[in-house]
């Protein structure tokens, strides 16, 4: 019989494997969309696109569920297919006994030993499907990993630098590039120690030989050249090899400052990526001078870790406090650190979410300055800084610090005012080098180009002669945002008391050098070990899973499915018990026929036929019940996912500031997969084994009433062991679930910072940290596995002891004639089945409870605090038709526990007025725009748009009636069309018009597919400047009366910026435009300029009038000169 059913199981498993592989691909698609939505959640909320991306995620979930339902069908067939062999074996063995033994009736002494033997085989066969499913899933996972590991890689043929692979091969202790991680390591082990296993001698010889070959090649470049590219053609696409850079020939002089300039999308960032080996070399070669081949890199989009500020600057390479303090001063970070709750030990959050763009970039630059790398590559860091801060960083950090250390500096910039201070200039255009040389050489060889640059520089600053304003006394004003964002109200009181000032605003009168001491004294009063911590610890329940979670799960599973499961399993229980009772009657009838000598009274066919009916009824009920369980669990999983992701996307932005994305992804990957793939099987096996045990208990209770008395002490022993096991294992499982979040967080963080990590040559450190986190997570799983082994041994001992005692008593009673032989056999076979299943039922009950932990964790996200989406008034479709904005004494904060970021601000923006908003970093510029979208809490005062209080307007409608170009450009995977118009409301003509206005028509026209051309995840196939232009086009498309531009042109060259400002002035002359800019030249033509300072309106007048007096705005303009 098993010869028939095993191949059947093989066919079912084969079909299951195909469906499982397909469902994993669909799960990848869902997780990709979910992660992308979380990464761009700020833009999603600003544009009111929660429903769009929610539906996109749900659509991918539906596609996955289609495959999962197919898997439910095949998975539900596995266990019945396994038991089918046992059912047929029982029928054939018992039914044909008389046939093959010359009509000898079946007797208890034959039936029950055979039944026990067959039950043992069936028990093993039943456990085969889950084991085979695990093998299938493992095989699919291995194939997916194999495909990933076989994907094309960057060969990194850069000569003179350690190859990516060789850096990974050599351990940290063996590499000379990293000299000291012991003093203050970034990846400090908290449990155990790192061990470095020496490489085999043949590998060391191979690596050494390769390095010597590269040294000989690198030696061919001149000693005063740091990097040389010869006839280089490069591509980002490793498969198709479409050139991005063509015929590049350059030499980077050692110990000098080289600037790379050019229009948006001209190839500046690609050029430095080619130097670092991040691009595919189609032709030519990149050679680094072997004597100066270590690099530091500051990416255009600042990459920060979820660590303290100091750890981000040191980056695992501690070089002493003096160097650290000097770098902090060069990057103008000292006052920022002074007012942080824990100083430079303050956690700055995932991707630096609690810092402004300028503050993040200064930490990013500080990391490069702090390192002792020979070559420092800076990709346009000055664009994110205010003019006076940028000037300080350039002068103190780049010119004096890096120049003083005679380090080679490569600076990508759009700020042409610094070009005369460069030693070498490279001008990029359309992926090629237009010209290069020293400023004097370019001025002489191309006077027209030099004159054009001078014109741009002059256009960038105010033409009027103004006196340079003293900026030093204002330095601490730009730090106040950090107080509001992170510190508590009590902290403000301590500052006041220690500095003898009446308010935080009085801090500008305190010398910067004294702020650190004041802060240190304030912090001495803090007993909280978590001061300065932004990211909250992940919540973890304790004790048993609450009954509320189980009831919630059953409610989501559906009444019909749950009822069907109960009914079918009652049928299975009844048929199981009655089947064993029927065998007892059958065998006893045979024994009576032999004893009476009347074999004619024995009807083997009747007993066999009725037993077959009972067995197949049980098999069918088992099949229906199993499918019902799987279907119920999957239905519940669908509802848990949809409710949880809806709740997450509707949460306030603060939730995403304090919750790492990896933690959220853990819920929607590992936890959801446990519900989808494991819980159904666990419940199905639990029900089956539970019915075995209940059936065995009932049969023994019917045969011998004393059984319950005997069972009672064993029951308490079982209960004690089980409770002891569950108490510890339950918490292990919770710890295991939580321990996965750091793995996801670190992996996501590493992926986003790969160019920086590889530039520094820190691949091995990050790999080691990833392995350490994985090991810690796996260690909890190992302890849980060992606890399962302990449980199996304990329950096996108890079960065997119980079976032995009952067996001896039953045999004694049988000898005395108190119990019939058939009843004894029935009781023993039933009890044996029950005893063999005791450990299975307890371990599966534990597994179910631990899987319910995943339900509990998802259910927690089902009840997150939500933004107020409902409104009191539904404005007319034409609202706002004027564009008037009134801010009436508003007080704004990011969270109820944080200080205000805007204080008693009252302003009126007239319809069609062009407003420029400026102020030093952290003064509240972006916070003002966020308040218009109700992104942050307006806890006092009112904002009116065209006379309507925005608190009364439905949130999604409000946000879709405003347009914004955010500070950080975000594009999503999909077509250009989707990124510009996700609601599919615009015609192609409108889309092309917006693209042309954003100066992207030529770029898009060259792409295959045009508007339908693919945008990679995060828009990585476009430069940062081009991404900003796409965001501009996206905002232009929205037919709204109010447009907000938040540092919209920070990463755009000045020529394109000037064109865009003219377009804004003409094409949007009937709209109210609020422009926030670091470049004051951008807002010189505004109707009015608002200067914010410390969350208050410091100045409000026309640009001309502000320039005529001693104003903050005048100082900002003059600092741009």
pLDDT at 943 over 90: yes
Percent of the chain with pLDDT over 90: 15
DSSP string, 173-232: TT-SS----SSS-TT--SSS----PPPPHHHHHHHHHHHHHHHHHHTTS-TTEEEEEEEE
| pLDDT one-digit tens code per residue, 770-817 | 888 888 888 888 888 888 888 888 878 887 787 787 778 777 777 766
Q: What is the pLDDT of residue 511?
A: 40
What is the fold, at CATH topology level, of the domain defined by 911-931+960-1118?
Rossmann fold (3.40.50)
Q: What is the pLDDT of residue 482?
A: 45
Give the separation between CA 502 and CA 265, rounded to whole angstroms: 50
pLDDT at 353 over 70: no
Q: What is the pLDDT of residue 1029?
A: 84
> Which of 677-686, 702-711, 1090-1099 is predicted with the least confidence, judged by mean pLDDT?
702-711
Give the separation between CA 943 and CA 945, rounded to whole angstroms: 7
Q: What is the pLDDT of residue 639?
A: 92
| pLDDT one-digit tens code per residue, 242-268 | 788 999 999 999 999 999 998 888 888
Q: What is the pLDDT of residue 194?
A: 38
> Which of 184-193, 430-439, 475-484, 514-523 is predicted with the least confidence, judged by mean pLDDT?
184-193
pLDDT confidence bin for 411, thresholds 50/70/90: very high
Give the separation between CA 375 and CA 938, rounded to whole angstroms: 47
Give the separation between CA 1066 and CA 415, rounded to whole angstroms: 25
pLDDT at 478 over 70: no
Q: Identify the top-confidence range among 179-188, 383-392, 520-529, 848-857.
A: 848-857
- Segment 1081-1093 mean pLDDT: 83
pLDDT at 287 over 60: yes
3-state secondary structure at position 323:
helix
- At 1014, phi and psi to the nearest 5? -75, 135
pLDDT confidence bin for 193, thresholds 50/70/90: very low
- The residue whose two tokens read 């250009």 is 976
Give the separation between CA 573 and CA 859, rounded to whole angstroms: 33
Residues 6+ apart with CB under 8 A from 254: 223, 224, 225, 226, 289, 292, 408
pLDDT at 487 over 60: no
Classify each residue of 798-813 as buried b or exposed e, where b means 16 or more C-beta atoms within 10 Å of its C-beta: bbeebbeebeebbeeb
| Cis previous bond, 880, omega within 30 | yes
pLDDT at 577 over 60: yes
Residues 6+ apart with CB under 8 A from 193: none
- At 352, phi and psi to the nearest 5? 65, 40
Percent of the chain with pLDDT over 70: 78
Q: Identify the top-confidence range among 478-492, 681-695, 1033-1047.
A: 1033-1047
Paired tokens of 603: 């009807």
| pLDDT one-digit tens code per residue, 1031-1065 | 888 888 887 899 888 876 665 666 666 667 777 67
Q: What is the pLDDT of residue 708?
A: 66
Please check whether residue 235 is in contact with residue 279, taking contact to mean a CB–CB distance below 8 angstroms. yes
pLDDT confidence bin for 165, thresholds 50/70/90: low
Alpha helix segments (H runs only) across 41-190:
41-46, 50-95, 97-100, 108-126, 128-149, 164-169
Q: What is the pLDDT of residue 812?
A: 78
| pLDDT one-digit tens code per residue, 727-754 | 888 778 778 777 887 888 888 888 888 8
pLDDT, mean over the chain: 78
Q: Sheet with 375-379: list strands edge to edge.
A: 295-298, 375-379, 408-412, 257-262, 424-429, 432-437
| pLDDT one-digit tens code per residue, 413-425 | 888 888 888 999 9
What count of other Cβ atoms lies within 10 Å of the Cβ of residue 133?
21
pLDDT at 151 over 70: yes
What count of other Cβ atoms lies within 10 Å of the Cβ of residue 599?
14
Q: What is the pLDDT of residue 156?
A: 65
Short-list 538, 539, 554, 540, CA closest to 848: 554
> Which of 510-519, 536-545, 602-611, 834-843 is predicted with the least confidence, judged by mean pLDDT?
510-519
| pLDDT one-digit tens code per residue, 435-471 | 899 988 888 888 888 887 777 666 554 433 333 333 3
Paired tokens of 911: 């319809």
Q: Could you tell me the residue ranges of all domains in the chain?
A: 2-146+551-861, 911-931+960-1118
| pLDDT one-digit tens code per residue, 209-249 | 555 555 555 446 788 899 999 999 988 876 665 788 999 99
End-to-end CA distance of the chain: 91
| CATH architecture of the region 2-146+551-861 | Up-down Bundle (1.20)
Nearest-5° Cα angle at 389, 385 to 390:
60
pLDDT at 327 over 70: yes
Q: What is the pLDDT of residue 155?
A: 65
- According to DSSP, the β-strands at 974-975 and 1014-1015 are antiparallel
Identify the sign of the CA torsion 559, 561, 567, 573.
Answer: negative
- Segment 576-580 mean pLDDT: 80
Q: What is the pLDDT of residue 952?
A: 92
Paired tokens of 470: 């003293």
Q: What is the pLDDT of residue 1052?
A: 66
Q: What is the pLDDT of residue 367?
A: 92
pLDDT confidence bin for 171, thresholds 50/70/90: very low
- Segment 360-365 mean pLDDT: 89
Q: Which residue has the higher pLDDT, 481 or 890?
A: 890
Q: Which residue has the higher pLDDT, 33 or 522?
A: 33
Q: What is the pLDDT of residue 502?
A: 33
- Segment 2-18 mean pLDDT: 76
Residues 6+ apart with CB under 8 A from 700: 707, 806, 827, 830, 831
Max CA-CA distance within the chain? 130
């Amino acid at each position: 019989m098993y010869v028939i059913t095993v191949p059947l199981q093989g066919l079912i498993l084969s079909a299951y494997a195909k469906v499982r592989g397909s469902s994993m691909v669909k799960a990848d698609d869902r997780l990709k969309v979910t992660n992308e939505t979380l990464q761009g959640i700020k833009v999603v909320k600003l544009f009111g696109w929660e429903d769009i991306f929610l539906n996109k995620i749900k659509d991918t979930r539906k596609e996955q569920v289609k495959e999962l339902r197919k898997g439910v069908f095949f998975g539900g067939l596995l266990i019945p297919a396994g038991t089918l062999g046992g059912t047929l074996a029982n029928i054939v063995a018992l039914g044909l006994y008389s046939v093959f033994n010359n009509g000898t009736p079946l007797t208890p002494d034959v039936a029950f030993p055979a039944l026990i033997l067959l039950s043992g085989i069936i028990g093993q066969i039943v456990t085969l499907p889950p084991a085979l499913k695990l093998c299938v899933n493992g095989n699919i996972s291995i194939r997916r990993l194999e495909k990933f590991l076989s994907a094309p890689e960057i060969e990194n043929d850069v000569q003179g630098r350690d190859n990516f692979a060789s850096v990974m091969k050599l351990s940290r202790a063996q590499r000379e590039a990293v000299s000291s991680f012991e003093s203050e390591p970034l990846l400090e082990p908290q449990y155990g120690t790192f061990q470095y296993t020496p490489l085999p001698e043949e590998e060391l010889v191979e690596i050494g030989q390769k390095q010597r070959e590269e040294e000989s090649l690198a030696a061919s470049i001149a000693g005063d050249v740091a990097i040389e590219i010869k006839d280089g053609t490069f591509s980002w696409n490793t498969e198709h090899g479409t050139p991005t850079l063509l015929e590049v020939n350059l030499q980077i002089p050692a110990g000098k400052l080289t600037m790379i300039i050019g229009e948006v999308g001209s190839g500046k960032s690609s050029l430095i990526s080619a130097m670092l080996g991040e691009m595919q070399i189609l032709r030519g070669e990149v050679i680094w001078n072997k004597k100066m081949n270590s690099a530091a890199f500051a990416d255009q989009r600042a990459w920060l870790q979820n660590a303290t500020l100091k750890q981000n600057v040191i980056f695992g390479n501690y070089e002493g406090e003096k160097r650290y303090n000097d770098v902090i001063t060069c990057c103008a970070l000292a006052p920022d650190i002074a007012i942080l709750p824990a100083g430079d030990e303050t956690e700055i959050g995932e991707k630096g979410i609690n810092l402004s763009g300028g503050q993040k970039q200064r930490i990013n630059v500080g990391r490069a300055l702090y390192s002792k790398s020979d070559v420092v590559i800076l990709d346009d860091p000055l664009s994110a800084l205010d003019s006076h801060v940028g000037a300080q960083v350039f002068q103190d950090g780049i010119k004096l610090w890096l120049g003083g250390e005679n380090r080679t500096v490569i600076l990508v910039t759009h700020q042409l005012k610094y070009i005369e201070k460069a030693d070498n200039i490279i001008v990029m255009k359309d992926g090629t080098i237009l010209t290069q040389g020293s400023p004097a050489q370019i001025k002489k060889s191309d006077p027209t180009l030099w004159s054009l640059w001078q014109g741009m520089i002059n256009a960038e600053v105010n033409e009027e002669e103004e006196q340079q304003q003293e900026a030093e006394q204002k330095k601490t004003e730009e730090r106040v945002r950090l107080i509001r964002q992170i510190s508590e109200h009590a902290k403000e009181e301590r500052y006041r008391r220690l500095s003898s000032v009446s308010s935080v605003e009085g801090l500008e009168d305190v010398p910067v050098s004294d702020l650190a001491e004041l802060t240190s004294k304030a912090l001495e009063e803090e007993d909280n070990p978590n001061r300065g911590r932004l990211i909250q610890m992940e919540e973890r329940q304790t004790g048993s899973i609450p009954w509320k979670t189980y009831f919630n799960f059953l409610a989501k599973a559906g009444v019909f499915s749950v009822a069907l499961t109960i009914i079918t399993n009652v049928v299975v229980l009844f048929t199981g018990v009655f089947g064993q009772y029927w065998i007892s009657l059958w065998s006893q009838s045979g024994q009576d026929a032999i004893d009476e000598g009347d074999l004619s009274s024995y009807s083997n066919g009747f007993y066999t036929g009725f037993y077959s009916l009972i067995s197949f009824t049980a098999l069918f009920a088992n099949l229906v019940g199993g499918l019902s369980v799987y279907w119920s669990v999957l239905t519940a999983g669908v509802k848990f996912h949809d409710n949880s992701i809806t709740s997450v996307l509707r949460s306030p932005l603060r939730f995403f500031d304090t919750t790492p994305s990896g933690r959220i992804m853990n819920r929607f990957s590992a936890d959801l997969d446990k519900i989808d793939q494991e819980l159904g099987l666990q419940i199905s096996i639990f029900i089956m084994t539970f019915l075995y045990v209940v059936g065995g208990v009932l049969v023994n209770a019917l045969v011998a009433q004393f059984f319950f008395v005997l069972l009672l002490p064993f029951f308490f022993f079982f209960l004690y062991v089980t409770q002891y096991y569950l108490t510890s294992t339950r918490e292990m499982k919770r710890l295991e679930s939580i321990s996965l979040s750091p793995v996801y967080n670190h992996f996501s963080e590493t992926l986003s910072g790969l160019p920086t990590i590889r530039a520094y040559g820190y691949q091995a450190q990050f790999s080691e940290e990833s392995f350490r986190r994985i090991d810690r997570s796996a260690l909890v799983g190992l302890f849980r596995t060992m606890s399962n082994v302990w449980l199996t041994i304990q329950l096996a001992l108890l079960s065997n002891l119980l079976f032995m005692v009952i067996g001896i008593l039953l045999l004694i009673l049988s000898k005395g004639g108190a119990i019939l032989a058939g009843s004894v056999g029935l009781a023993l076979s039933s009890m044996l089945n029950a005893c063999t299943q005791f450990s299975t039922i307890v371990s599966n009950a534990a597994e179910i409870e631990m899987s319910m932990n995943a339900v509990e964790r998802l259910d927690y996200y089902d009840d997150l605090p939500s933004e107020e989406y409902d409104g009191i008034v539904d404005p007319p479709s034409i609202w706002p038709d004027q564009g008037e904005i009134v801010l009436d004494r508003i007080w704004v904060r990011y969270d109820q526990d944080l200080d205000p970021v805007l204080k008693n601000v009252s302003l009126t923006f007239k319809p069609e007025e062009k407003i420029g908003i400026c102020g030093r970093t952290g003064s509240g510029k972006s916070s003002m725009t966020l308040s218009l979208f109700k992104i942050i809490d307006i806890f006092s005062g009112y904002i009116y748009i065209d006379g309507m209080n925005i608190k009364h307007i439905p949130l999604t409608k409000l946000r879709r009636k405003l347009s914004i170009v955010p500070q950080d450009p975000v594009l999503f995977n999909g077509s250009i069309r989707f990124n510009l118009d996700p609601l599919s409301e615009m015609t192609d003509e409108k889309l092309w018009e917006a693209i042309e206005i954003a100066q992207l028509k030529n770029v898009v026209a060259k792409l295959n597919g045009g508007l339908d051309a693919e945008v990679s995840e995060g828009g990585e196939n476009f430069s940062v400047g081009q991404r900003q232009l796409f965001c501009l086009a996206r905002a232009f498309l929205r037919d709204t009366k109010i447009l907000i531009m938040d540092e919209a042109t920070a990463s755009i060259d000045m020529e394109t910026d000037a064109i865009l400002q003219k377009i804004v002035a003409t094409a949007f002359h009937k709209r109210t435009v609020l422009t926030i800019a670091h470049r004051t030249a951008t807002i010189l033509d505004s109707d009015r300029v608002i200067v914010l300072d410390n969350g208050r309106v410091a100045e409000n007048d026309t640009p001309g009038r502000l320039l005529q007096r001693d104003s903050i705005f005048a100082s900002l303009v003059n600092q741009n000169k």
